[in-house]
Amino acid sequence: MKTLSVAVLFLATIASAHAFAQTKTRAQVYQELIAAQQDGRDFVTDTSYPDVNPIFAHQLEQQQEARLAQHQTANAGKVASSTAADSPSAMN
């Protein structure tokens, strides 16, 4: 009887652990990782939680500035191409 109880408890534990582990797909976890890298959460350490570790603050600033500059140049390119397409000489 004791063996049966242990076996049932063991199976219930494994089943619940398996159900818990299947809550997210790899794609979801990957997207969360990308988001964490983009907003600087990967620079948070155990000693600095919930803030960014001061050691990494300058590196985070540089990444954010580079990302902002990249978005600005990409948006400027889109505006320039849409303006050229909308001009009267492009329509003739």
Domain ranges of the chain: 32-83
C-beta separation of 67 from 38 below 8 A: yes
Q: What is the pLDDT of residues 39-79, one digit of tens each?
A: 777 777 777 777 778 888 888 888 888 888 988 888 887 76
- Which pLDDT score is estimated for 30? 93
What are the Cα distances from residue 5, in Å, to 1, 8, 16, 67? 6, 5, 17, 57
Residue of 35, 40, 34, 38 lying closest to 57 (CA atoms):
40
Is residue 23 over pLDDT 70? Answer: yes
Q: What is the pTM of this model?
A: 0.43
